[in-house]
Chains A and B, each alone.
Chain A
Amino acid sequence: MTEITPELVRHLAGLARIEVTEAEVAQFASQLALIVDSVATVKAVASQDIVATSHPIPMANVFREDVVTASLTQEQALSGAADSDSGRFKVSAILDED
């Protein structure tokens, strides 16, 4: 079984902005290991001549014309916002990022 360390779980939680308790760290570690192992079984089936794919349907070059379509109004855009000011979304001050 793949080893998922508590440090790795905390790191992932940090990247995903999810707060986790110590009990959850242990729980997620074993659950994530199970997921990783399950995905790894695919490797056992796939051979060299099977090309990796990012999409289930073999198609390419699906493009849109460069023509403007209707946007939301400012009121509509902001209607779901927790808070807004001067036509903009209002969010908490960002202190710990670049």
Chain B
Amino acid sequence: MVQKDDGLRSRAEGELMAKDQLMDYQKALEAYEVVIGLEVHVELNTNTKMFCGCANVFGDEPNTNVCPNCLGFPGAMPAVNGKAIENSIKIGLALDCQIAATGRFARKNYFYPDLAKNFQTSQYDEPIAFEGKIDIEVPSGKVFTVEIERAHMEEDAGKLTHVGGSTGRIQGAEYSLVDFNRAGVPLVEIVTKPIYGAGDEAPELAAAYVRSIREIVKNLGVSDARMERGNVRCDANVSIRPKGEAKLGTRTETKNVNSLRSIERAVKYEIQRQAHLLSQGVAIIQETRHWHEDRGATSSGRPKSDADDYRYFPEPDLVPIKPSKEWIEQIRATLPEKPAVRRKRLMELWGFSELEFRDVVNSDLLDEIDETVKAGAKPQAARKWWTGELARIANSENKDINELAITPLQVAQIAELVESGKLTDRLAREVLTGVLAGEGDPAAIIAARGLEVVSDDGALLAAIDKVLAEQPDVLEKIREGKLQAAGAVIGAVMKAMSGSADAARVRELVIQRATEG
């Protein structure tokens, strides 16, 4: 099922809804066992849509990438995008799935203005890929094997915008606007089997799972994998049952969880909410719930039963997909290394400690650092820039670090300039600020702002001599072997040069002066 852009309705419900009572998280876990299930939608980055030749582009003028297929005109005939099939098989193989000998499309019937055909072309009982598994490492270092039930192909729906209603409530909404550019964009929906035994790490596991899926599809090159654009979207199923109880509890499906942080928070919230209800003897209602990032809470959507009557039937306008063994093996041969293998290789290659490496993975910076190192930076320097200064800036600007306007190549250039002594750390940070402000590449910013370290020994010596004249006892102390005495001189010289000197070189020159005397 594709997700709905019903932000307005969700807000309205939020306002009308009494605040949920939550059980203390640790208490909830002492009394109940948590079972989660995750559905992740991945938008493929093919040139064209799933069933027609309209461009698959984000952010174009509304209703400019549409045709009779996208608009559900009578008589329009779908034609399957072969590349989308290939990419779906890639995802299936990367998740250790079996690829179906015969896959079929089916019509999933429902009425909603984001889908002009009144049915979504999806897959029902014959998904392209099934029965896979993936190992997921959570922040504590523990590894869980998550079993994949299926990965099936379908099409995305159009985008709805609700307009009107000064009170912000749905009752006041006057109308909705529909843009069908997204209708028909290829999606792969990956569904896990129920995940047991994660205990208090269930929220982290859910987030780590989605992170891994995102990493996989990004490395496969089959999706842009940008969560903020909805390329990767997650629905989280959560149920709890009293410890020792064999029967599964009633589950809720929380939609609209579109960042890794929200996934973690939403799962935790549902555990606490359901635990409170069960402890009060109140039954959980099987329903769709919406996540509200701003309030950090879920709210009730619709009950599941009726609307799930989708009356699936095989799509008569499309013939089955029967990928040959040869084709599957050809595709398998093109797969990049698995994330777990890649992580192990990079950790050894970079020589990071386990703690440093886990910090990189949990900060979602593996790709950035990999690319920065490939662009010529030393691994530790790349790590320090990304997990240090850049993470700090992203955090203070309340941004995702991947959204910062800087490329791995630019970070590598700055790191290299520091390494070669052309920039001090302070100057490097200034260059970084310039890059982030869109002033151009590091070299251009250094030229424009005149930031390069003074490497002219003559200028440095002049400054050193001036300081030494003011502190005549320092040279004597250095000669006596008290090298730390040089610190005061270095500090004064750096200050005199407004920080644009290489401290290491200044130190060398100070000691040189002492030995000369």
Could you tell me which A residues sit within 8 Å of B by CB distance? 11, 14-17, 54-55, 57, 59-74, 77-78, 85-95, 97-98
CB distance A98 to B288 under 8 Å? yes
Apart from A59-B319, A69-B67, 18 more pairs, CB < 8 Å = A14-B306, A15-B311, A54-B314, A60-B320, A61-B323, A62-B318, A63-B79, A63-B82, A63-B85, A64-B81, A65-B83, A66-B46, A68-B48, A71-B54, A71-B67, A74-B62, A89-B63, A93-B176
Knowing A60-B102, A60-B319, A94-B113 are in contact, say whether A74-B63 is a contact too (CB < 8 A): yes
**Which residues of A sit under 8 angstroms from B321, Cβ to Cβ?**
60-61
CB distance B170 to A95 under 8 Å? yes
Least Cβ distance of A79 to chain B in Å?
A: 11
CB distance B80 to A64 under 8 Å? yes
CB distance A90 to B83 under 8 Å? no
Chain B residue with the shortest CB-CB distance to A15: B309
The yes or no answer to B374 lying at the interface (CB within 8 A) is no
CB distance A64 to B112 under 8 Å? no
Which residues of chain B from 47 to 97 have a CB within 8 Å of any chain A CB?
47-48, 52-55, 61-68, 71, 79-85
**Which residues of A sit under 8 angstroms from B288, Cβ to Cβ?**
98
**Which residues of B sit under 8 angstroms from A54, Cβ to Cβ?**
104, 314-316, 320
CB distance B79 to A64 under 8 Å? yes
Cα A67 to Cα B52 in complex, Å, equals 10
Interface size class on chain B is 35 or more
CB distance A93 to B174 under 8 Å? yes
The yes or no answer to B161 lying at the interface (CB within 8 A) is yes
Cα A86 to Cα B178 in complex, Å, equals 10
A-B contact pairs, 28 of them (CB 8 A): A17-B111, A54-B104, A54-B314, A57-B319, A59-B319, A60-B320, A61-B319, A64-B79, A68-B55, A69-B53, A71-B54, A71-B65, A74-B63, A77-B66, A86-B177, A87-B179, A88-B62, A88-B63, A88-B161, A88-B179, A89-B63, A91-B176, A92-B175, A92-B176, A94-B9, A94-B113, A95-B171, A98-B301
The yes or no answer to B507 lying at the interface (CB within 8 A) is no
Least Cβ distance of A85 to chain B in Å?
A: 6
**A16, A94, A95 — most chain B CB neighbours (10 Å):** A94
Least Cβ distance of A81 to chain B in Å?
A: 9
Which residues of chain B from 104 to 144 have a CB within 8 Å of any chain A CB?
104, 109, 111-113
CB distance B4 to A98 under 8 Å? yes
CB distance A66 to B83 under 8 Å? yes
**Which residues of B sit under 8 angstroms from A94, Cβ to Cβ?**
6, 9, 112-113, 160, 162, 176
The yes or no answer to B307 lying at the interface (CB within 8 A) is yes
Cα A69 to Cα B306 in complex, Å, equals 39
Knowing A61-B319, A67-B47, A98-B301 are in contact, say whether A72-B177 is a contact too (CB < 8 A): no
